[in-house]
Chains A and B, each alone.
Chain A
Amino acid sequence: MKTLVDLFLTFAKIGLVGFGGGAAILPLIYQGMLDFNSMDPEEFAELFAISQATPGPMAVNAATFSGFETAGIPGAVAATVGVALPSFILVGICVRFLSRYQEHRLVKGAFAGIRPVAVGLIAAGFVMIGQTALLTSEIGSGAVGLFAAIKPLPAVMAAATFVLAKKFKVNAITLIIAMGAAGALFCS
């Protein structure tokens, strides 16, 4: 029961401060889940990929995923309700009282800060995921050690994904499925 309450509170907090969509929310989930010891860093990369490749809003998928891994279906309910509840209350109040507040000075100021911070958060998410996806577990010291720990095949696939998304505008699901198939063939 305590786990469920903790899950709910963790995800309510994420729902309350999570600006900028799924990718920017990832570091929040990563840090929130450390307290539960129910996921290793490797599973986070899976969480990101599966949340993005399956239907539905990414943050909701990620919440359900985390809750389910921690405490089964009750955990999934606690985390998903948690991530949705702050939105639910805030939006309801806003529609009711101040539907045209977004021109307000304080709101604009807040966004002047949040937007660049969200970019930093996404970059931090890249490091979190890249560590487990592209590096072996034994990392030597210094730049040489880091370089030696790179797994060549996944590194090439990650670079290919970036280029295909950027240059050729291939969508995320196609890329995840294609790389999954390539991985099954070459990494097994």
Chain B
Amino acid sequence: MDRLKGFFKNNIYWNLFACFFKLGLFTIGGGMAMIPIMQEKICDKYKWMNEEEVLDCIAISQSLPGVIAINMATYVGYAKKGWKGALLTTFGVILPSFIIIIFVVSLLRTIDENPYVRGALEGIKAAATGLIAFAAWKMGKQTLKGAFQWLAAFCAFASIVFLGADAVWVILAGIAVGEIYYAVCAAKEGKA
């Protein structure tokens, strides 16, 4: 038994998987909520990276497309043990979601005729509406600093809600407009 414990404790592959499985299990909400726990585990507990490397990992994970939590998991796994490590960490961070969601949805679908469950779902949906309004407000406060940002946000909103535009194209258009805006700003600064 002790030998078995020792194997799991010192095996880097097992630790990579287990560490990210726990991160997936205990962080609710998403990538951002994961950051403090990840720092603690990766710097202090396992000493896989130093503080600065973890900051690099967070910055790159945020600036790449995709789910931030998966980006961070892949980053740490790959940095430690190549593709094999990346596979284990990514699988680890996904697995808890996968199991819990299937369980919750199955349970919900068997009891959703019950009036109390229906009432609870009404309440949950109302909460979801309030929360997403809050998310928009919070992100907006951080991001919408000038006329360009307000206009870009409004155009994105209006083209999806009123024109039914495909969100994928809206994002790609945002990237294109951002490039132009940044180039113009850089040129202006160069002159001044």
Contact = CB atoms under 8 A, between A and B. Distances in A.
B30 A59 contact: yes
Contact of B171 (A19, A46, A76, A188): A19
Contact of B28 (A80, A105, A118, A172): A172
Interface in B83-112: 83, 86-87, 90, 93-94, 96-98, 100-102, 104-105, 108
A102 interface: yes
A9 interface: no
A13 B168 contact: yes
Interface string B129-164: 111111111011001100011101111111011000
B71 A87 contact: yes
Interface residues of A, number: 108
Interface residues of B, number: 100
Contacts of B116: 184, 188
Interface of A: 13, 15-28, 31, 42, 45-46, 48-61, 64-65, 68-69, 73, 76, 80, 83-84, 86-88, 90-92, 94-96, 99-100, 102, 105-127, 129-130, 132-134, 153-155, 157-162, 165-166, 172-173, 175-176, 178-188
Interface of B: 24-32, 34, 56, 59-61, 63-71, 74-75, 78-79, 83, 86-87, 90, 93-94, 96-98, 100-102, 104-105, 108, 115-137, 139-140, 143-144, 148-150, 152-158, 160-161, 166-168, 170-183, 185-186
